[in-house]
């Protein structure tokens, strides 16, 4: 038995989502932008229904939703689109702020913009993984255009104080982008209520299909499109819409919202059981604060073992990771931001529980880690 505990990397597509998508592959396959005949109008209606599902689930208006290929594209559209429009309009603000612990899908576009006339400042995080609000406030000068902060960290699961961050940004007239790839469908998110200007998400993180996501944009906020060639989605993102994937995205988020509270309670209890068991080994440290944190996340560093050997032993029974699926085996920059050394980061384990996780899998995980750690410490 292989226990899959890497749900931050991806989640299985819910069977109900697969069923909802099924007719749109081969029975109702018209292009939603043709709109001159009934099949196309039906496809367009399906897209608009999904748009409404996302908007209602995330406390936004339907016109806020731009469908993308995933959170990476949504992040690029949000960041580059904001900066390019500011350039076109002669906006004097240029500086960008973010955190050292962000996902590469944010850090890399920001670094690109930093090389093209938009100075970038990456703020440190505290050892618990959270931003220092006083430090953020001090950095919010009149030259700051945008702040980008992820809602939930993809490695250590900590939840940034979005409402407080948004209040600081609004006070200084600064735009706030939130990468909610790990948060959407897992924690309450009301975009307008929180004061978020741009919000990115990806379907495969909440039991939807891979290859689809969305960027939600506050009404009245402009963006320079990053894809040109058809004028779809009001000219904000060109390209024929993937109707089956969009239908699946909307259905997945509705289902995730429906069982979110119950799922968080159940997985939080399993996570706490796992953490209590790991502490019995001794020399196991928690990465990031335990609260506020995603209920299905646990990230620990194991002392006195070689990280590569540890993961070689664990992979026989557990699907877990030492960091982001996008890190390609490099030491975690998130754990480095918390003060962990390269060796400590390599000897860290990210557990990502999911809808199908069971107590038997937690028992298996504890047994596998215990066996591996005892063997390596010898």
Instruction: Please tell me the distance from the alpha carbon of residue 153 to that of residue 32, in angstroms, as a whole number.
Output: 35
CB–CB of 153/334 below 8 Å?
yes
Q: Are 206 and 252 in contact (CB under 8 A)?
A: yes
SS3 state of residue 5: coil
Using CA atoms, how far apart are residues 90 and 87, in angstroms rounded to an integer? 5
Residue reference for tokens 């993809």: 154
Which class for 366: exposed (0-12), middle (13-18), buried (19 or more C-beta within 10 A)?
middle
Q: Are strands 213-217 and 65-68 parallel, antiparallel or unpaired?
A: antiparallel
Positions annotated as catalytic residues are 326
Q: What is the DSSP letter of 353?
A: -
Q: How far apart are CA 299 and CA 324, in angstroms?
A: 12
């Amino acid at each position: 038995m292989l226990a899959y505990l890497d749900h931050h990397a991806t989640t299985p597509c819910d069977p109900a989502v697969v069923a909802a998508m099924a007719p749109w592959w081969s029975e109702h396959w018209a292009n939603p932008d043709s709109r001159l005949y009934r099949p196309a109008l039906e496809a367009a209606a399906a897209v608009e229904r999904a748009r409404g599902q996302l908007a209602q689930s995330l406390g936004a208006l339907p016109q806020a939703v731009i469908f993308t290929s995933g959170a990476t594209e949504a992040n690029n559209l949000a960041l580059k689109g904001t900066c390019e429009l500011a350039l076109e309009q002669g906006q004097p603000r240029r500086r960008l702020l973010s955190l050292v612990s962000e996902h590469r899908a944010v850090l890399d576009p920001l670094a690109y913009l930093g090389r093209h006339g938009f100075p970038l400042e990456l703020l440190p995080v505290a050892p618990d993984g959270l931003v220092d609000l006083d430090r953020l406030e001090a950095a919010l000068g009149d030259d700051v255009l945008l702040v980008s902060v992820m809602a939930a960290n993809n490695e250590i699961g900590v939840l940034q104080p979005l409402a407080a961050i948004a209040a600081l940004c609004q006070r200084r007239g600064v735009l706030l982008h939130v990468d909610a790839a790990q948060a959407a469908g897992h924690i309450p998110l009301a975009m307008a209520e929180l004061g978020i200007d741009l919000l990115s998400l990806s379907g495969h993180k909440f039991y939807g299909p891979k290859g689809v996501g969305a960027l939600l944009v506050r009404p009245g906020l402009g963006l320079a499109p990053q894809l040109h060639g058809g004028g779809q989605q009001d000219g904000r993102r060109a390209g024929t819409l993937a109707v089956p994937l969009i239908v699946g995205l909307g259905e997945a988020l509705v289902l995730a919202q429906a069982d979110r509270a119950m799922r968080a309670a159940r997985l939080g209890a399993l996570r706490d059981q796992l953490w209590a068991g790991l502490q019995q080994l001794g020399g196991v440290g928690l990465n990031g604060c335990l609260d506020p944190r995603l209920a299905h996340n646990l990230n620990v560093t194991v002392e006195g073992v070689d990280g590569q050997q540890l993961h070689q032993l664990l992979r026989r029974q557990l699907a877990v990771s030492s960091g982001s699926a996008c890190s390609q085996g490099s030491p975690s920059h998130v754990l480095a931001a918390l003060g962990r050394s390269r060796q400590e980061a390599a000897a860290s384990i990210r557990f990502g529980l999911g809808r199908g996780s069971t107590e038997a899998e937690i028992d298996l995980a504890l047994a596998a880690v215990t066996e591996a750690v005892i063997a390596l410490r010898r």
